[in-house]
Chains A and B, each alone.
Chain A
Amino acid sequence: MMNIKAFTLVSAVERELLMGDKERINIECVECCGRDLYVGTNDCFVYHFLLEERPVPAGPATFTATKQLHRHLGFKKPVNELRAASALNRLLVLCDNSISLVNMLNLEPVPSGARIKGAATFALNENPVSGDPFCVEVCIISVKRRTIQMFLVYEDRVQIVKEVSTSEQPLAVAVDGHFLCLALTTQYIIHNYSTGVSQDLFPYCSEERPPIVKRIGRQEFLLAGPGGLGMFATVAGISQRAPVHWSENVIGAAVSFPYVIALDDEFITVHSMLDQQQKQALPFKEGHILQDFEGRVIVATSKGVYILVPLPLEKQIQDLLASRRVEEALVLAKGARRNIPKDKFQVMYRRILQQAGFIQFAQLQFLEAKELFRSGQLDVRELISLYPFLLPTSSSFTRSHPPLHEYADLNQLTQGDQEKMAKCKRFLMSYLNEVRSTEVANGYKEDIDTALLKLYAEADHDSLLDLLVTENFCLLTDSAAWLEKHKKYVPLRFFSFLFLFFFLIPFQLWVNIVNGDVQDSTRSDLYEYIVDFLTYCLDEELVWAYADWVLQKSEEVGVQVFTKRPLDEQQKNSFNPDDIINCLKKYPKALVKYLEHLVIDKRLQKEEYHTHLAVLYLEEVLQQRASTSGKGAEASETQAKLRRLLQKSDLYRVHFLLERLRGAGLPMESAILHGKLGEHEKALHILVHELRDFAAAEDYCLWCSEGRDPPHRQHLFHTLLAIYLRAGPAAHELAVAAVDLLNHHATEFDAAQVLQMLPDTWSVQLLCPFLMGAMRDSVHAKRTMQVALGLARSENLIYTYDKMKLKGSSIRLSDKKLCQICQNPFCEPVFVRYPNGGLVHTHCAASRHTNPSSSSPGTRT
């Protein structure tokens, strides 16, 4: 069993002070009350010493006793027992079966001569029931057989209050409140002298060993049990603590929390009440007295008095921790709770938990360590600081002093063992990950997250991204440097935007990677990420700062920085389209994209943009034409876009564009523009005669009339037809086009008008589809009209019927009939009658056009 040093034995009263060289004089009893130390001897002397404690910096205190006085009590018997009653300034002295009262200072007997006679031994009640501060309760074992007596002792008188007879002869007694704990001849009992109820505790054999009965605290006693047991018993007769196993021949016992101290012939043994284990054994021969006085434990031989000085609990705990006895240290610390002020205890206990945690940690007992760190509310940085370079350089952390452990860093702790090191790192990862979202992290979230990022990056851990996608407090300068060191570049957009400011430096780093200035093979799509990031970035300055760079890399992709911004932001007007256009001037492709975004996606109704876009398209078309040397038979994509824009938009400046188009050889576009100006004849002329594209002409009629009324459309078709026919029969091609037009769009024409225009030579056969269509249309129109007519007639009939009905019956107007609006009688035979039957004055009806049913007379009471 490992020992700890809980007590040190120091001498208090040297033999010379008491008896000099007189061999036969022995110490019989001791009493200590504050600084007053009393010693009773076998030659009937009482000695009074003043005990002075001198603290020694590193080590137990020393004591010196100065003799004040000694007095002979006038008997030839030894002084058996001494007890101080400091409240009364009296010393109770048992000598020759009689308890006398003497003054504590001068040791003079009280003048009244008050004494308790016939006492074999006595005990003071330290939990008195009387409540009178100027008396002490004394319990004696009487010299009368099987008798216990209770006394009240005052300054100069004594008073018996109770006599109790017991079943056997009592040998030892202790008192607590109304409870007597008695060692009888064969057993220990608890006796309540107020109720008279006795309870057996357990048997023992007084012939083998004298009994021990010690009150150790409120309602609890320590008894010497069979087989060398120190037994605990409460006044309820039960045991709430497991017994301690001391030696078979213990002659004295005391409690100095949390230890039970026992004295036998050769040793003073110290057992913990917390785990029942023996903690210390001090060799001490010929001891015969062991007593505790208000926490001070005194032992005595027949020749000298010694004090057992406890080491401070904290020191004991530290010793245990130093020898890695974590469990014992914690038990001791927990046990000390009630002996130390609460706030002080908590600070101490927390520290011990933390220290214990580091001990477990160093032994790689991570589960235990974690629990200790958690319950000890460890500042996580203490742990992080063990790992080299994990704390941010900006961290203001310094380790607590005195240190919680002896390790400089992990290298020292693991002694370079890489496997252990890896285990420790894994532990820290999981631990930090666990605590980062708890209150433990409050105040040092940056330190924790940065350390975690570093660990993840170093271990190439999958959680690196998880850490970054969620809200985090990684310090960027530090993290970036670390990531660079470990060649880990991560998608920027995952960083929380809130911390953008801190990103400026690493941002440049990423730009460098894209530019190839820094090697990184892990992310080929970094450029896209940067664009993505800037797109969602709120920091205007940053966007502007890197816009050029982004656009230089790729105009099409780079422009997304502007085109793909979330909508709500633009409403904040932080990015002015004009500024952007200005910026994009150097990047035509990007500019086109952006304008398309404005005009087509966002449908901005602003002439400038539309014109600008149209001009850009046009320029590109022209450029393309130039490069393909005029052979622009098929419309390029850009041309299609231009046409679509010209057709769909009504906002661009038509004349301006028309001017640009002149001579450019873009008849289709010109036609569209003419159409926009309402010059349909001109437009169609171009299409028919210049382009000879009849399908386009037809198409023109359709899109130009889109959303307009039928006559407009008819007009367009007629115009086209007229153009076709005007050429005369000679232009065979146009004639065919005219026929096709008529046959395909029969319903778009006024047949009667067309027939007059057509040359007489055309056969019915040729125009058959048109004629049939026209006929069908005409018949359909006629029938539709007939149906409408019929419906109108029947409607008219219904109204006529209603009118007849209303006029059919007469209305009687009397004085009793009141106008429903003004509630006055009718004075003239003229009135207005509403369809619901209500009658009102003509002027009332005129002044109020509402139907009276809405303000129904029924609402009036």
Chain B
Amino acid sequence: MRKPDSKIVLLGDMNVGKTSLLQRYMERRFPDTVSTVGGAFYLKQWRSYNISIWDTAGREQFHGLGSMYCRGAAAIILTYDVNHPQSLVELEDRFLGLTDTASKDCLFAIVGNKVDLTEEGALAGQEKEKCSPDTDAGDCVSPRVPKQVQLEDAVALYKKILKYKMLDEQDVPAAEQMCFETSAKTGYNVDLLFETLFDLVVPMILQQRAERPSHTVDISSQKPPKRTRSGCCA
């Protein structure tokens, strides 16, 4: 098994679509998923790095595992359902605490999933598919409703998290960059989400490697010993 160079963890209340997001990205499909038991992970090769992406169980029953899964994580994707305001509230109340075990410079992304079920999302989707507006509703089971959670709410949460972590806004990616609205069903913004994170994580891997003593002896870049002037006969 390849050893992962970095870890990204998906957190969020049950049924917000964590597994679907991950499957949409990794397998380019949107299958029916069952409630995740415990957790699962994928290994994604990004450039020359292996990044493990952990999908966690949102069910209360497995809540206690989150902390262990987050240990050493380089990035955490906090996921909510744009149609369920409570799922955003849960992120702060239940899941934020789990992230204490993540690495100190851990990145946070806040993702509002299921925009395809909102009015805006449906419109956006239709424009994309170039459908006429009157073929609406017939093809979709769920009624479209106004979006319950606005992107500003996510941005506000992001800023709260920074405060909670006692991070300076200057040192971390801007809220606008790290708050996403996605649809695992249509694939909207899914690649953007993961690939934005990968690109941010790679420098962290490099930094980690630089800080940690290397396990392999590098014989190619041997520096000539520095000549120091001996003290006595300067």
Contacts and interface: CB of A to CB of B under 8 A. Distances in A.
Interface of A: 187, 200-204, 225-229, 231, 233, 236-240, 242-243, 245, 276
Interface in B54-86: 59, 61-62, 64-65, 67-69, 71-72
Given A203-B64, A231-B38, A238-B68, 6 more contacts: A187-B64, A200-B67, A200-B68, A204-B64, A226-B65, A239-B69
B67 A225 contact: no
A201 B38 contact: no
Contacts of A229: 37-38, 62, 65
Interface in B168-227: none
Interface string B79-100: 0000000000000000000000
A703 B65 CA distance: 111
Contacts of A233: 68
B40 interface: yes
Nearest to A187: B64
A242 B59 CA distance: 16
Nearest to A244: B38
Nearest to B71: A238
B41 A237 contact: no
B68 A201 contact: yes
Contacts of B61: 226-227
Interface of B: 4, 7, 37-41, 59, 61-62, 64-65, 67-69, 71-72, 101
B38 A202 contact: no
Contacts of A276: 40
B72 A231 contact: no
User: Interface of chain B, helix or strand or loop or mixed?
Assistant: mixed
B39 A239 contact: yes
Contacts of A204: 64
A227 B38 contact: yes
30 contacts: A200-B68, A202-B68, A225-B38, A225-B65, A226-B61, A226-B62, A226-B64, A227-B37, A227-B38, A227-B61, A229-B37, A229-B65, A231-B65, A231-B68, A236-B72, A237-B68, A237-B71, A238-B69, A238-B72, A239-B39, A239-B68, A240-B4, A242-B39, A242-B40, A242-B41, A243-B37, A243-B38, A243-B65, A245-B38, A276-B40
B97 to A, nearest CB: 12
B65 A202 contact: yes
B72 to A, nearest CB: 6
B54 to A, nearest CB: 8
Nearest to B7: A238
A238 B61 CA distance: 19
Contacts of A237: 68, 71, 101
A599 B39 CA distance: 92
A201 B71 CA distance: 9
Nearest to A338: B1
A239 B70 CA distance: 9
A236 B68 CA distance: 10
A243 B36 CA distance: 11
A162 to B, nearest CB: 26
A201 B65 CA distance: 8
B117 to A, nearest CB: 29
Contacts of A238: 7, 68-69, 71-72
Contacts of B59: 227
The 7 closest A-B pairs by CB, nearest first: A243-B38, A203-B64, A229-B38, A202-B64, A245-B37, A242-B40, A227-B61
A200 B70 CA distance: 12
B10 to A, nearest CB: 13
A651 B39 CA distance: 101
Contacts of B40: 242, 276
A236 B71 CA distance: 9
A236 B67 CA distance: 13
A153 to B, nearest CB: 33
A236 B40 CA distance: 19
A81 to B, nearest CB: 29
A238 B39 CA distance: 13
A236 B72 CA distance: 9
Contacts of B41: 242
Nearest to A190: B68
A548 B101 CA distance: 93
A238 B52 CA distance: 13
Given A226-B61, A226-B62, A242 B68 contact: no
Nearest to A273: B1
Contacts of A239: 39, 68-69
Contact of B62 (A200, A201, A227, A236): A227
A203 B65 CA distance: 8
Contacts of B4: 240
A695 B153 CA distance: 112
B150 to A, nearest CB: 34
Nearest to A203: B64
A276 B55 CA distance: 14
Contacts of B72: 236, 238
A229 B61 CA distance: 11
